Amino acid sequence: MNIHEYQAKEVLKGYGVRIQEGIVADTPEAAHEAAVKLKEQTGTSWFVIKAQIHAGGRGKGVVNETGSHGVILAKKLEEVAEKAKNILGGTLVTHQTGPEGKLVNKVLIAEDVYYPGASEPKEYYLSILLDRATGSNVIMASTEGGMDIEEVAEHTPEKIMKEWIDPKVGLQPFQARKVAFALGLSGNAFKEMVKFITALYNAYEGTDSSQFEINPVLKTSDDKILAVDAKVNIDDNALYRQKELAAFRDVAEEDPLEVEAGESGLNYVKLDGNVGCMVNGAGLAMATMDMIKLVGGEPANFLDVGGGANATTVEAGFRIILKDPNVKAILINVFGGIVRCDRIASGVVEAYKTIGDIRVPIIVRLQGTNAAEGAKIIDDSGLKVFSAITLKEAADKVKAVLEA
């Protein structure tokens, strides 16, 4: 589960990670008040207004309606409300949102931390993530902060250093020093960076996260090290014991079809193709999607209805698939184990009649317990539903209806 920057910063601060201070606001008036309060608290007289969406690249991103960038600087308190107004309620398009962009409901009013001083402020990149290949956590660090890290990884991979951490032992002090040293730091900035990395790792562990990305981490002109941005991804499987973090969920940031599917206990992921799929079991769903591609189709979604599929789940699955205007055919591929094929077939026929007005052809492949009975129910229903026994046969029928 992803959370917003303002939420992530609050969490990090709780673990002793130094952050760029800020106050969240959802109207231009609240943005002004936030700036007044922030000035009192931090003494700042410049403010950064940051769109809160679950996507990066906001600084370079543009709000469709106003042309404003998603991260902007206000050098006067009086400008904050107006600049916030140009972002709030707008659609921000960044290289991570896709061309449709994301609606901005909140802005973070943050203190300016790039003030001049003894030295130039310098941006770094730091992330911590789960490395499944080695079964450990890995810290990635780079002096090329503030930039698109994918670009750095592609053109100058030697500029990204990696330090693996055994989750049983945890981060060792020498490892934090090694990372800070690799970033070329010395003196007070080095000490601050060691503290920063240590606190950040504690936060990563304590929140059951699978990914932290702080880009940029800033060394201020007076050698403070702080998080200017924060992307935090919490492991969904840990949310049962991370109740405070679970409350940070923002469904407005999620695909509405995926939210609806979740409420019906379905595991649904929207894709870009034209063949809707309804399958029981994730492995079978993957195999089904492969088959669709093999015959020249593209899956419109991944949908695992789970082991306990019945008429209600089948109907809920149908409704969700049909809301996707790209769907030109639906392939139902269910293995009857505990759930018998005849039950599923009846469920399909029932759902078909209940929903009514289904214009796309449906191919049903039922295997396992009572497969023949299931096929007969489909064939006898008189509906525009085609049955198939083998997966290849099902895929060929999909191909035939797409070409028809």
Residues 80, 35 contacting (CB under 8 angstroms): yes
- Applying CB under 6 A, among 163, 192, 213, 229 the residue interacting with ligand GDP is 229
Nearer to ligand GDP, 160 or 358 (CB): 160
The residues facing 137 across adjacent strands are: 130, 165
- In the region spanning residues 134 to 193, those forming contacts with ligand GDP, defined by CB under 6 A, are 146
Tally the residues of the chain. Answer: 404
Residues 54, 253 contacting (CB under 8 angstroms): yes
Q: Is 280 marked as binding a ligand?
A: yes
Q: In what order do the strands lie in the sheet with 71-74?
A: 22-25, 107-111, 47-51, 71-74
Q: Which does 73 bind (CB under 5 to 8 A by kind): ligand GDP, Mn ion, none?
A: ligand GDP
Nearer to ligand GDP, 215 or 333 (CB): 215
- Applying CB under 6 A, among 19, 71, 141, 232 the residue interacting with ligand GDP is 71
- Applying CB under 6 A, among 33, 112, 258, 396 the residue interacting with ligand GDP is 112
Pairing of strands 267-270, 301-304: antiparallel
Region from 109-117, 151-159, 327-335, 363-371 binding ligand GDP, contact rule CB under 6 A: 109-117
Query: Tokens 């404003």 — which residue?
Result: 68
Secondary structure class of 351 (helix, strand, coil)? helix
- Distance of closest approach, residue 71 Cβ to Mn ion, in angstroms: 8
- Applying CB under 5 A, among 123, 229, 253, 315 the residue interacting with Mn ion is 229
- Applying CB under 5 A, among 215, 220, 333, 367 the residue interacting with Mn ion is 215
Residues 138, 54 contacting (CB under 8 angstroms): no
Using CB under 6 A as the binding rule, whether residue 73 contacts ligand GDP is answered as yes
Query: Tokens 């002109």 — which residue?
Result: 221
Region from 48-56, 179-187, 265-273, 344-352 binding ligand GDP, contact rule CB under 6 A: 48-56
Region from 121-129, 229-237, 242-250, 340-348 binding Mn ion, contact rule CB under 5 A: 229-237
Using CB under 5 A as the binding rule, whether residue 5 contacts Mn ion is answered as no
- Applying CB under 6 A, among 56, 101, 281, 361 the residue interacting with ligand GDP is 56
CA distance 151 to 56: 14
Secondary structure class of 23 (helix, strand, coil)? strand
Region from 62-70, 101-109, 172-180, 211-219 binding Mn ion, contact rule CB under 5 A: 211-219
CA distance 239 to 253: 18
Which residues of 118-208 form beta strands (DSSP E)? 122-131, 136-142, 160-165
Nearer to Mn ion, 215 or 346 (CB): 215
CA distance 309 to 345: 11
State the Cα angle at 72 between 70 and 76, rounded to 5°: 150
Measured distance between the N- and C-terminal CA atoms of the chain, rounded to whole angstroms: 41
Using CB under 6 A as the binding rule, whether residue 101 contacts ligand GDP is answered as no
Using CB under 6 A as the binding rule, whether residue 48 contacts ligand GDP is answered as yes
Catalytic residues: 125, 213
List residues forming the annotated binding site for Mg(2+): 215, 229
What residue ranges bind ligand GDP (CB under 6 A)? 20, 48, 50, 56-59, 71, 73, 112-114, 146, 215-216, 228-229
